[in-house]
Amino acid sequence: MGWIDWTLSILTLLVGIMVTIIVMIQTTKSSQSSVTGVNTFYGSNKSSTLDGVLSKWTIFLSFGFIVLCTLTTISIMK
């Protein structure tokens, strides 16, 4: 394994750990909040709350994790 393989492997590991931590920090969504959450202040301003920010980071890092896994696999197979 060359330095590129090691770098991609370490980045994949770090991003995977970050995704796990961010998902565990998020609060669970209950069925009550989905019914009544639309008309509340929290429901209308969700993107500016901590859960909204964590949700965006989860999507961003998950996509990055998938890309890194693919690149790591391709790099190691060569």
Under a CB-based contact definition with an 8 Å cutoff, are residues 76 and 16 in contact? no
Q: What is the dihedral of CA 64, 65, 66, 70, to 10 degrees?
A: 100
The pLDDT of residue 51 is: 84
pLDDT tens per residue, the chain (78 residues)?
A: 788 889 999 999 999 999 999 999 988 766 555 555 555 555 556 667 888 889 899 999 999 999 999 999 999 888
Rounded Cα distance between 48 and 71, Å, is 33
What is the reported pLDDT for 50?
A: 84
